[in-house]
Every structure is written in structure tokens, then in C-alpha cells.
């Protein structure tokens, strides 16, 4: 990607900022980041002369009109984070998750120098809803018409739009279906209040790590029976770059570790790594979440992209724990800025 012009939408976010750092090492001509800082903070954007930061929504006509027609690569990561917040505010989810994708592709269809667009989709949308032994979710798994959240609907609409703009406008879009990403750079409470406790307690890994370092009890929902496929952030950004370089337009690839970890195992492992001896607390099942056991199939990405996520979970968690300790002041600041709003809601209200 040397000397190429690259756009990352949502490039101030957790995955986007990690991706930005990796892409800068490839010496692009220019790296444009468009982000409205809805779930991220400005300091997450790399400080580099190569970076142009445009503050605002990628659905905004003025911003779309400013994009240079020399764009070569686009990583579309902007999203309304995440499932719980989308249930609370489906309209905001639509505005920042579905409409963004449609408007971006509609603009890019006329750009003459695009080599690849990578759309970030979500494995949770296609995973089978089961608490029986899970099979690895393959890329060609059927998609249910009955999904758990507006976020999941938005992510799959993005895939439909990707297919439409690829088929009808020859836009070279590759879809990357992420499993659960964790790692340095995910700041609890980053950005603006989005209506639920999930503004602060984003994903399970950073939440458990933060509480564990502070010797707080980890709250394990539904006895920790659910399982997820945790993929380290450095691996996912390598996978995104592999999609951009080697992905076949029109295709979808899982970016997964292929390893299943239960939430109970995760909680125990994190407490062991931080030395937190405070007892786990059992919480109720999240009412909206029908996902049980799940993990992604890694075969297609291995064969076609030569991509393997190879960071063992213990190593990834150790790095994330260290990063969390090193950045605790900033994380505390972001968590605490929502304190008054958090007081008004109960943890399991949505």
C-alpha cells in the first residue's frame, strides 16, 4: 500500500486506530480518517503528517464531497457501537451503521482508482443460536431473518449493499466478518453517551480486565455458559490488510481465531492473570441475546488469504492487561465522564 491513498471510516475507534498504526508502517501517500467520535476519542488517532482527520459522519454529504477521487483503498469500519445501544436507539444505529454504508458506497461507485474496499461485518449475525456443541460458522452459513438487534441487522444490510454495489457497479468490495475482537486500544466509555450501560461496559474482555485489575467482582451472565471466538486486535488488522491485498471482490471472509472460549473460562483466566481473588458474581442472561456457543471457521481465510490469527489468548490477554494498567488514567476518565448517566439506569435494563 506504499504511496496509496487510503480511507478508514471509524478510524479513531478501537480496531480503526490499530489499523491506522499498521497501515502507516506501509508508507501510504495519505491516510484519511473520517470519524464522528461517537464511540472513540481524538487521541486514539495516530499523530502523523500522513494522517488527515475529518471530524464528522461518513453519511454527511459535505464530508463525502471532500473525499479525494484518487482514493485507492477504503476500510469501512464506522459503526454505531454495539448491540445493546442499538436496541436502545435503533434510529441512531440506522443513521451511523446502515445509512453510512449506503451513502459511502453510493459515493465510491463513481471513483475511478479504487483497488479494494473492505467492509467490516460481524460474525454474530450469522452464528447459529445454540447452546449445544457448536460447529465452526462457515462463510456460507445461512442468515436468519430473525436477528437479535438492530446492530446485527445493520451489519448484514452492509453485506447486502456490498453485494449489490459489487454486482451492479463493479465496486471491488470484500467483506470481513469479525469474531470478538479484544486487545490494546479499546477504551471503556470512549466517546459520547449512547443510552445504555454498554456505552461504558463495551465488550466483555475490556470490562472484565478493568474490573479485575481493580479487584472488583466479575459479573458473569447466564453462568458464563456462552462461548465466543476471541481474536486479538493485531491479528484482526493483519486480516483486514490481507483482505485488501488478496481478498477476491464480492467474497466474504471470516476473521476468526477458530478457538472457542466460554465466558466462565475467560473470567477465571483474567482473574488468574491479574491475581484478582474476588469471587465471581452470577448475573442473569441478557434478555435480547440468544447467542450461545459459537466460533468461526478459519479455513477459507487460511486458504485464500493465507491468514491465520496466531496470538494465543493468554498472551493477548496479558498484553491487554498491561496496556490497561498503563492507560488507566485515560480509561478512568472516559468511564467516569458517564457516571451521572450510569447512575440513572440499572445494569441489566436493556
Ligand X SMILES: NC(=O)c1ccc[n+]([C@@H]2O[C@H](COP(=O)([O-])OP(=O)(O)OC[C@H]3O[C@@H](n4cnc5c(N)ncnc54)[C@H](O)[C@@H]3O)[C@@H](O)[C@H]2O)c1
- What residues make contact with ligand X under the rule CB under 6 A? 9-10, 12-16, 34-40, 57-59, 77-81, 96, 100, 120, 122, 155, 178, 180-181, 191, 203
- Give the residue among 192, 164, 188, 163 at the shortest CA–CA distance from 175: 163
Question: With respect to ligand X, which residue has the nearer C-beta, 217 or 327?
Answer: 327
Residue nearest to ligand X (CB): 13
* Strands 252-255, 173-178: pairing kind: parallel
Calpha distance 49→141 (Å, rounded) = 43
Count of beta carbons in the 10 Å neighbourhood of residue 17: 27
Q: How far is the CB of 341 from ligand X (least distance, A)?
A: 18
Q: How far is the CB of 161 from ligand X (least distance, A)?
A: 13
Q: Which three cell numbers stand for residue 280?
A: 465471581
What phi and psi, each to the nearest 5 degrees, are found at residue 317? Answer: -70, -40
Q: Report yes or no: 278 and 211 within 8 Å, Cβ to Cβ.
A: no
What phi and psi, each to the nearest 5 degrees, are found at residue 177? Answer: -95, 110
Question: With respect to ligand X, which residue has the nearer C-beta, 99 or 111?
Answer: 99
Helix (H, G, I), strand (E, B) or coil at 181: strand
Question: With respect to ligand X, which residue has the nearer C-beta, 39 or 291?
Answer: 39
Q: How far is the CB of 22 from ligand X (least distance, A)?
A: 14
DSSP for residue 229: -
Calpha distance 274→280 (Å, rounded) = 14
Q: How far is the CB of 34 from ligand X (least distance, A)?
A: 5
Q: How far is the CB of 115 from ligand X (least distance, A)?
A: 21
Question: With respect to ligand X, which residue has the nearer C-beta, 267 or 276?
Answer: 267
Q: How far is the CB of 133 from ligand X (least distance, A)?
A: 23
Question: With respect to ligand X, which residue has the nearer C-beta, 40 or 259?
Answer: 40
Helix (H, G, I), strand (E, B) or coil at 231: strand
Q: How far is the CB of 123 from ligand X (least distance, A)?
A: 6
| Residue 345 CB partners (closer than 8 Å, separation 6+) | 196, 197
- For 73, the enclosing helix (H) or strand (E) is strand 73-76
Amino acid at each position: 500500500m506504499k504511496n496509496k491513498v487510503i480511507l478508514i471510516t471509524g478510524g479513531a475507534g478501537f480496531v480503526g486506530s490499530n489499523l491506522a498504526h499498521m497501515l502507516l508502517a506501509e508508507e501510504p501517500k495519505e491516510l484519511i480518517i473520517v470519524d464522528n467520535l461517537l464511540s472513540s476519542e481524538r487521541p486514539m488517532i495516530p499523530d502523523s503528517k500522513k494522517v488527515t482527520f475529518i471530524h464528522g459522519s461518513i453519511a454527511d454529504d459535505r464530508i463525502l464531497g471532500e473525499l479525494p477521487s484518487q482514493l485507492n483503498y477504503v476500510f469501512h469500519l464506522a459503526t454505531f457501537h454495539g448491540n445493546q445501544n442499538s436496541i436502545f436507539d435503533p434510529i441512531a444505529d440506522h443513521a451511523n451503521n446502515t445509512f453510512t454504508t449506503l451513502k459511502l458506497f453510493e459515493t465510491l461507485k463513481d471513483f475511478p482508482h479504487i483497488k479494494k474496499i473492505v467492509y467490516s461485518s460481524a460474525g454474530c449475525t450469522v452464528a447459529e443460536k445454540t447452546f449445544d456443541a457448536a460447529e465452526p460458522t462457515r462463510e456460507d452459513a445461512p442468515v436468519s431473518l430473525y436477528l437479535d438487534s438492530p446492530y446485527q441487522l445493520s451489519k448484514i444490510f452492509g453485506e447486502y449493499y456490498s453485494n449489490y454495489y459489487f454486482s451492479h457497479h463493479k465496486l471491488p468490495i470484500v467483506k470481513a466478518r469479525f469474531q470478538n475482537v479484544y486487545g490494546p486500544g479499546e477504551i471503556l466509555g470512549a466517546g459520547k453517551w449512547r443510552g445504555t450501560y454498554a456505552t461504558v461496559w463495551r465488550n466483555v474482555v475490556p470490562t472484565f480486565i478493568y474490573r479485575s485489575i481493580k479487584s472488583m467482582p466479575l459479573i458473569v451472565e447466564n453462568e458464563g455458559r456462552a462461548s465466543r471466538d476471541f481474536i486479538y486486535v493485531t491479528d484482526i488488522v493483519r486480516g483486514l490488510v490481507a483482505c485488501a491485498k488478496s481478498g477476491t471482490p464480492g467474497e466474504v471472509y471470516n476473521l476468526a481465531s477458530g478457538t472457542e472460549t466460554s465466558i466462565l473460562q475467560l473470567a477465571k483466566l483474567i482473574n488468574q492473570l491479574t491475581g484478582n481473588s474476588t469471587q465471581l458474581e452470577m448475573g442473569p442472561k441478557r434478555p435480547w441475546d440468544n447467542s450461545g456457543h459459537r466460533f468461526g471457521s478459519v479455513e477459507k481465510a487460511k486458504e485464500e488469504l493465507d491468514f491465520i490469527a496466531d496470538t494465543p489468548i493468554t498472551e493477548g490477554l496479558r498484553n491487554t492487561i498491561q496496556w490497561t494498567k498503563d492507560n488507566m488514567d485515560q480509561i478512568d476518565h472516559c468511564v467516569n465522564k458517564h457516571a451521572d448517566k450510569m447512575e440513572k439506569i440499572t445494569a441489566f435494563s436493556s
